[in-house]
Structure 1
Amino acid sequence: MNRITRFSVSLLSGAMMLASCHAKEGDAATKEDTKKADAGEWIQLFNGKDLTGWTPKFRGHELGVNFKDTFRVEDGILKVSYDNYEKWNSDFGHLFYKDEFSHYILRAEYRFVGDQVKGGPKWALRNNGFMIHGQSAASMKKGQNFPDSIEVQLLGGAPDSKEPRPTLSICTPGTHIEMDGKLIKPHVIRAKGPTFHGDEWVTIEVEVRGSEVIRHKVGDKVILEYNKPQLDNGTLLEKGTISIQAESHPTEFRKIELKVLEK
């Protein structure tokens, strides 16, 4: 075997070893997340570096298109940004996490910043949300505004206003819920929680136990509790996707984590 052949074999061998190493690292990371989930430990859905594990879906666009670079990670913060927009054109978007969940606690830290994009709807001022028990991103129609899901609404106080705008209300695109044994059909069910003004960071938790019960929490306080999340045809929702919204106001997330609960 001549020197060139030996060098080529050595180079190929090194590349194969490196690829094998990366594959093992990826497998190890996946197995580690699985172990953490099984052990009921917190899983970091947002890794603080990039959008690994998340896929965007915007109205009017194919799955995976990050329209105008709306969802991005900068300085360890997951941002919903509108600095590439001239005006709002009903470009509703969602960023979907790769896995579905059934029984879990979702915990997040978020805040609203800056100004709403020009032309954004009034109701969307300082407004975002976690869509839970949602349909898959792949099953959404190209022109669909929102996934069929239960929205845990994130809301901030309007600038220069003391009007109450409590966070953690419910919106029900394509769905209904039950409260106190009664079917609730209005699209918005208002919470009676606190209003957060300005750009302060807010920590919230959502406890989800399949179709049995869902609780919205600020700190240790339960803001809303409801049962039997279901499609508007009555099909109970036992599990589903988790996604965050892009509906015209800049929003930042510095932590999104989840703990799987035993059924």
Structure 2
Amino acid sequence: MKLYLLPMLALLGAAPAPAPAKWQRIFDGKTLAGWTPKITGRAAGEDPLHMFIVKDGAIRVSHANYTKFTGEFGHLFWKAPLKAYRIRFEYRLFGESLPGIQSWQASNSGLMFHAQAPETMRRDQDFPVSLEFQILGVPRPTREPTGNLCTPGTTVVFEGKRDPRHCILSTSPLEPVGRWVRAGLEVLPNGEVTHFIDGKAVLHYSAIELDPGDKDAQPLIAAQGGKLQLQQGYIALQSEGHQIEFRNIELQKID
């Protein structure tokens, strides 16, 4: 009798697995409520030429009031820092790049994550210390996939070793400018990160650290008492000289 009863009691007493957190829309499709711009040469919150607008249910990087690129890299930050989460969104590069860009900026944008807060950036700082889910399209001077990793002020472990490269290419196919692409990012509590394009994993790495050799990372390292490990930060949509739209931006937090 006891042999059958004990397993049954163990089953009855087992706590049910917690349900995953619900997906939350962090862009309402109508306004930029909850989002803060930071443009090179300007203070956080300033966007006098309306680089970031809402049009047809999407956040648009607009060049309507720009005739030439003169160093105005832009980032649009979501209001809350994040630690472990999944984010999914759709993007579409469109139109032409602004005159005055460098060749690597063509058909180029990104989603920054684990980024420093916008108000901590220097006024003339081009990119936040962060990781970048790099978005590329073709045609462009070099035919590269989308969903890559770039590391302004940071480093990661890739394929078993700390990788010093600024950008690491994904296994995504080439994506043409003008197509809506489904993108996703998973940041686990143990520090492992995976990039997704159209539902397929295209890049995996771990062990995010601040780079002690980067001048913008150095104050952040000092604020952490010398620790290099980077465990959380902000997400930001990027403007890098080519128009792009983002829509259906959803977030799922991971405990």
Q: Structure 1 length as normaliser, TM-score?
A: 0.81
Please report the RMSD computed on the Cα atoms of aligned residues, expressed in angstroms.
1.6
Matched, 1:48 2:41: no
Following the alignment from structure 2 to structure 1, what is the Cα–Cα distance between the partners of residues 97 and 208? 31
Q: Which residue of 1 aligns with 2:244?
A: 251
- Code of the aligned partner of 2:67: E
Name the counterpart of 2:208. Answer: 229
Aligned to 2:216: none
Q: Which residue of 1 aligns with 2:135?
A: 154
Match of 2:254 among 234, 258, 261: 261
Match of 1:181 in 2: 160
Selected match of 2:234 from 238, 241, 249: 241
User: Match of 1:56, SS?
Assistant: strand
Q: How does 1:97-116 map to 2 (within 5 A)?
A: 97-116=78-97
- Amino acid in structure 2 at the alignment position of 1:68: L
Query: Which residue matches 2:108?
Result: 127
Structure with higher Rg: it is: 1
What does 1:1-263 align with in structure 2 at a 5 Å threshold?
40-158=21-139, 164-210=143-189, 212-233=191-212, 235-262=228-255
**Is contact 2:20–2:254 with CA below 8 Å preserved after alignment?**
no
Unmatched 5+ stretches in structure 1: 1-37
The question of whether the paired residues in 2 share the 8 Å contact of 1:211 and 1:237 is answered with no
**CA drift at 1:164:** 3.5
Deviation above 2 Å: which 4+ runs of structure 1? Answer: none
What per-residue deviation string (whole Å, max 9, x for no partner) do you get for residues 169-192 of structure 1? Answer: 111101100113311111111112
Structure with the bigger percentage of helix = 1
Measure how far apart 1:235 and its partner are: 0.9
Secondary structure at the counterpart of residue 69 of structure 1:
coil
Q: SS of the residue aligned with 1:113?
A: strand
Q: 1:131 to 1:211 in 2, by over 3 A?
A: farther
Provide the TM-score with structure 2 as the length reference. 0.84
